[in-house]
Amino acid sequence: MSDSHLRDYWTAFRTIVSKEVLRFARIWVQTVLPPVITTALYFIIFGGLIGERIGEMEGYRYMDFIVPGLIMLAVITNSYANVVSSFFGSKFQRHIEELLVSPIPNSVIILGFVFGGVARGLAVGVAVLLVSLFFSPLSIHNPGVMLIIVLMTSILFALAGLINGVFARTFDDIAIVPTFILTPLTYLGGVFYSISLLPEFWQGVSMLNPILYMVDAFRYGSLGHSDFPIAMSFAIIAGFIAVMYGVALVLLNRGVGIRS
C-alpha cells in the first residue's frame, strides 16, 4: 500500500470521526447531559440511600464499589447509542451509499464510525467520573488497566451499535436491542453487586455475560478487587471485538440492509 493511499485513508478516517464527534457535541444537552444526570441519581439512590443500609460490598464501602460499574454503564450505553443512531441516520438519509461507493475501504468506514462512538463513550465516562467525585473519592489502583478496558469496551459496543444499525429498518428497530438485550445485560453485569453473592447456578449463568468481565476488570483497575483473572477478562473482550469487527465487515461488504 502506497503512502498516498495511507494518507487518503487517514484523511477519510479523520473526517468520519470528526463528523461523528461534532454530531454529538453540538447537541451535548441531549447526548452527554442526560446520562450524567441519570448516573447522579444512581449515586444518590443506590449509593447514598440504599448503600447506607447495605454497608460494605467485598470489603469496600458500597458507594465506592458501584462507582466503577456506573462509569462502565455510561460508557457502554453511549458508545452503542452513538453508532447505532448515526449509522441508521446515514441509511435513512441515503448518504451511506456515497461512502460505500467511494474508494474508501469498508474497514476504514467501520473504524470511523466506531471511534466516533468511542469518543462519545469516553466523553460521557469522564463526565460521570467527575460527578462521582461528589460522592466518592477517586480511587485508581492500576490506571493502565482502567484505560485499556474502557477503550476496549467502547470499541466493542460501538461495533455492536453499527451491526444493529445495519439491520435496522425503522427508528423503532434501533431501540429493540438496547431495551431487551443491552439493558438486562448491563444490570446483570455486576454493576451493583459482586458475583460471589449469587448462588452457584446463577454464577455460571452470569459468566456468559461479557459485560460482567468488563465491569470486573475496570473495578480491579479502580479498587484492586476482581472476581476473575484480568488476563481472562482481556482475552474475552478482545475475542468479542474480533468477532464483532468481522461480522460488521462482512455485512458492509455484502451490502446487507443497504442494497435493495
Mean pLDDT, residues 141-168: 95
For residue range 82-103, what is the model confidence (pLDDT) as tens digits?
A: 999 999 988 888 788 788 788 8
pLDDT given at position 1: 62
pLDDT band at 259 (very low <50, low <70, confident <90, very high): low
For the chain, percent of residues with pLDDT exceeding 90: 60
Q: Which of 71, 247, 107, 241 is nearest to 165 (CA)?
A: 247
Residue 3 has pLDDT above 80, yes or no: no
For 3, the enclosing helix (H) or strand (E) is helix 3-26
d(CA 91, CA 170): 10
For residue range 66-86, what is the model confidence (pLDDT) as tens digits?
A: 999 999 999 999 999 999 999
Mean pLDDT, residues 158-178: 89
- For residues 157 and 82, is the Cβ–Cβ distance under 8 A? no
Taking the CB of residue 204, how many other CB atoms lie within 10 A of it?
Answer: 11
Q: Which of 141-150, 178-187, 207-216 is predicted least confidently?
A: 178-187
pLDDT given at position 5: 75
- For residues 225 and 196, is the Cβ–Cβ distance under 8 A? no
pLDDT band at 173 (very low <50, low <70, confident <90, very high): confident
**Average pLDDT value over all residues in the chain:** 90
Three cell numbers at 224?
A: 484492586
User: Both ends of the chain: CA-CA distance in Å?
Assistant: 32
Mean pLDDT, residues 207-234: 93
> What SS3 state is found at 60?
strand
Residue 258 has pLDDT above 80, yes or no: no
Residue matched to cell numbers 455484502: 254
Strands 60-61 and 56-57: antiparallel
At 20, phi and psi to the nearest 5?
-65, -40
Residue 64 has pLDDT above 80, yes or no: yes
Mean pLDDT, residues 169-190: 85
DSSP string, 142-189: -HHHHHHHHHHHHHHHHHHHHHHHHH--STTHHHHHIIIIIHHHHHTT
Report pTM: 0.93
pLDDT given at position 220: 95
Residue 260 has pLDDT above 60, yes or no: no
d(CA 20, CA 17): 5
Q: Which of 56-65, 71-80, 219-228, 239-248 is predicted least confidently?
A: 56-65
For residue range 8-32, what is the model confidence (pLDDT) as tens digits?
A: 889 999 999 999 999 999 999 999 9
